[in-house]
Structure 1
Amino acid sequence: MRILHVLDHSLPLHSGYSFRTRAILKAQIAHGWTVAGVTGPRQNEAGEAEAACERFDGLDFYRTPTPPVRRAGISEWREVNAFARRIDSAIEAFRPDILHAHSPVLDALAAERAAKRHGLPWLYEIRAFWEDAAVGIGTGREGSAKYRLTHALETRAVKRAGAVAVICEGLRDDLIARGVDPARIMLSPNGVDMHLFGDPAPCDAALARELGIHGAEVIGFIGSFYDYEGLDDLIAAMPVLVARRPDAHLVLVGGGPAEAALRRAAEASDARAHIHFTGRVPHDRVERYYGLIDILVYPRKRMRLTELVTPLKPLEAMAQRRLVAASDVGGHRELIRDGETGTLFPPGKPAAMARALADIFADRAMWDERRDVARAYVERERSWSSNISRYQPVYQSLL
């Protein structure tokens, strides 16, 4: 079977989207399928050099040239047109049996055009609704004209695709509420490539001393700094946590749009000496930071995006045998069983978060069992080597 994946972007750009894509393609190759990807115009927005084709990490990608910038609205349709043309040429070169389009919805619109021209079946996989993602990162407003239009386009694309995949039950339930037949929806949950995250990282004592946390009780976050991640609440929890656990320190690894505001909040905190920013870290060095942190904390705010979508980072932390604590929102409840694989605390309540974290530090006797149970859960239910088989019956039905 030959599968052409239609993607917003891919490696060498680093994002959760890119790493999920890599895991899917690698697992499909291991399954015996022949795969390639075609990426949209936004692949080049980060200043990457444009190329017609590129091989990275053993994976083949067809690239789409970036069209000239136009005003909002017109610009998106120019992207869809340019992307559809590039998918046409990739189909002629690769000769796929099926198109597998991944969100956002612009990719689905382009894939639908190309699939119709070539008489190919196509699957649409949704990782998040584009309109909700825009609200989450502060570039959109729920209920606005653009939000409603994008919502309508998403529903239209889902109903026109041969089949639909979603990463979690929250997205599935939302589509069913829109009138989509449940029999057309498959669940392809987030998973972990155990070859990348399979071996727990040892504590790097030299790095701990460099950060000033050697011998401390360390909580941390590794990822992108968006407002919906709730890192401002985590910083606000630190004075309460330090009052109960004087050796507690917070390490924030990464960067993003909220970084400047978070640094200001940390500097103004009574616990500022216990809060450490590392900046962005190359992906091949991230494991060193996992090894420093006792508890990975994911304090997402309660909003439509976080209620519907499951994140990838908590699974990676569990695979690294790190303890996990997270806000009690829908996306986290699909991954974390409170008191078994992790700890859930009320969203938007820094004092309650601090109390939950202090209680974990006070009960070290349960740490090894909690780590073992969480890692076993990832190996059993959330590794890509097992998840990938879910696609086969859907592909076969489309063919």
Structure 2
Amino acid sequence: MRILHVLDHSMPLHSGYSFRTRAILKAQIARGWDVAGVTGSRHTMDGPDIEAVDGLTFYRTPAPETMATPLREWREIALLADRIGEVVDEWKPDQLHVHSPVLNAMAALRVARRRGLPLLYEIRAFWEDAAVGNGTGSVNSARYWLTRIFETHAANQADAVAVICEGLKQDMIRRGVDGEKIIVAPNGVDMDLFGDPSPADTELALSLGLESKEVVGFVGSFYDYEGLDDLIAAMPRLVSQRPDAHLLLVGGGPMDSKLRAQAAQSVLVEHIHFTGRVPHQEVERYYGLIDILAYPRKKMRLTDLVTPLKPLEAMAQKRLVAASDVGGHRELIEDGVTGTLFAPDDPDALAAALADMFAHRETWEERRVAARKFVERDRNWSSNISRYAPVYQKLTGKAV
């Protein structure tokens, strides 16, 4: 079985998107399948036209000339379609596996029709909702509804559809997409990459003023929908109950300056620490300082429909997690068993949940073990990858 993946971007760029891609392709190679990837012009890292990264092969698409929306998007689609066609003629795949956003699907559908290739469209999030979540779009805009129409059309035109969670599947069914052709291929982790948590780095803890403290942390991108403003707002109540509690925020993003300004105005500014972005190879040192990883996502369509990857990775490493009670988190976390859920958009509820976790350390090891077992059983890429096999076999008519 030879599968060509069509992608927005890939390694060596680091993102949740590229890490999921890497995991899928590595697991498919381990199964004995031949795989390669084509990235669109939004893969912005310089490199050769054909690039080998970590044993994976990616064909790159050139960027279009500078132009305004929507002309740029149409040009991106045309360039990607041309590149997919070139790779198909050279590499001769049995199956096109196209990953969102919808621009990729629109480009790949052109090639699939001309070459008579089956196409599986995998939706990781709805592009229009992601734009609302990161502050670059609004629900009432023409762009939002036009993107939604294109997304629904692409799903209807695809031979099969994969989504990363049940919330996305049900939304597509409500839009009129045939539920019989939709599979759920959930976010997973490569368990070979995760073992027991590393011990705390004493020198790093001292440098940050976190030695012997109770540390709540977040590691990732600072988007508005992540709810980090609620985490900062929760600190006064948390510290009133747990005087040694500190907050460690590792990363950066669009909300960075606003969050720093909010923290500077807090009466507990000395309990709130920003590291800025850190090199990927250094991230594990910061994880090692954190007692509880907090994911206070705000309640909106994006967070209700999409399951994030970060909590799964934390659970795989036997780390404690606390997360807002939104749909995407509920598919991953069983409250009181594998983690703690708290009311979204409510700093007081967040503080109370964290204080309760710190007050009951005797339950921590049991939760760590339960969370790790859940990921091993239900979110392990070595087993998750099998969900694609019957779809590929049905579409190609080839044994897999």
For normalisation by structure 2, the TM-score amounts to: 0.98
Aligned to 1:303: 300
Count of paired positions: 396
Number of the residue aligned with 1:157: 154
User: Shift of residue 54 of structure 1?
Assistant: 0.3
Report Cα offsets for 1:30-88 as digits up to 9, x if no partner: 010000000000002xxx22421100111000000001121111110010001100111
Distance 2:63 2:356 in 1: 51
Letter in 1 for 2:166: E
| Matching residue's letter, 2:144 | Y
Q: Is residue 168–residue 310 contact of structure 1 (8 Å, CA) maintained in 2?
A: yes
1:201 to 198, 203, 224: 198
Q: SS where residue 246 of structure 2 aligns?
A: strand
In 2: Cα distance, 1:13 partner to 1:367 partner: 34
Amino acid at match of 2:388: Y
**Mapped partners of 2:296, 2:173: distance in 1:** 28
Alignment equivalent of 2:362, drawn from 365, 374, 380: 365
Q: Which residue of the other structure, out of 273, 276, 301, is the alignment partner of 1:276? A: 273
Q: Which amino acid in 2 is paired with 1:13? A: L
| Structure 1: tracts of 5 or more residues without a match | none
Unaligned runs of 5+ in 2: none
2:227 pairs with 1:227:
no
Larger mean CA deviation between 374-383 and 275-284 belongs to: 275-284
Structural RMSD (CA): 0.8
Write the deviation string for residues 317-350 of structure 1: whole angstroms up to 9, x where unpaired. 1111111000010000000100001101111110
SS in 1 for 2:43: helix
Matches within 5 A, 1:1-399: 1-44=1-44, 48-399=45-396
Distance 1:355 1:310 in 2: 24
Indicate how the Cα distance of structure 1 residues 385 and 198 shifts in structure 2: closer, same or farther if over 3 A, else same: farther
TM-score scaled by length of structure 1: 0.98
Deviations 1:70-119 (A, max 9, x none): 11111100100011001111112221101000000000001101111211
Q: Which moved more, 1:56-65 or 1:90-99?
A: 90-99
Give the residue type in structure 1 aligned to 2:18: S
TM-fit CA distance, 1:179: 1.3
- How far apart in 2 are the matches of 1:380 and 1:72? 44
User: Contact (CA 8 Å) 1:233, 1:350: kept in 2 or not?
Assistant: yes
CA contact (8 A) 1:221 1:253 kept: yes
How far did 1:200 drift?
2.0
| DSSP-derived class of the 1:9 partner | coil
* 1:210-255 C-alpha deviation (Å, 9 max, x unpaired): 1110110010001100000000000000111111100001110111
Give secondary structure in 2 for the equivalent of 1:42. Answer: coil
Deviations 1:160-207 (A, max 9, x none): 001000000000000111111211000100001112223422211111
Aligned residues of 1:290 and 1:320 also touching (Cα < 8 A) = no
How many percent identity over aligned positions?
68
Supply the distance in 2 between the matched residues of 1:276 and 1:362 (Cα, whole angstroms): 22
Contact 1:290 1:322 in 2 (8 A): no
Q: Deviations over 1:136-156 (max 9, x none)?
A: 111111031111110000000
Deviation at 1:280, TM superposition (A): 1.0
Counterpart code for 1:37? G
Question: What secondary structure does 2:136 align onto?
Answer: coil
Alignment deviations for residues 274-298 of structure 1 (CA, whole Å, 9 cap, x no partner): 1111111222222222211110000
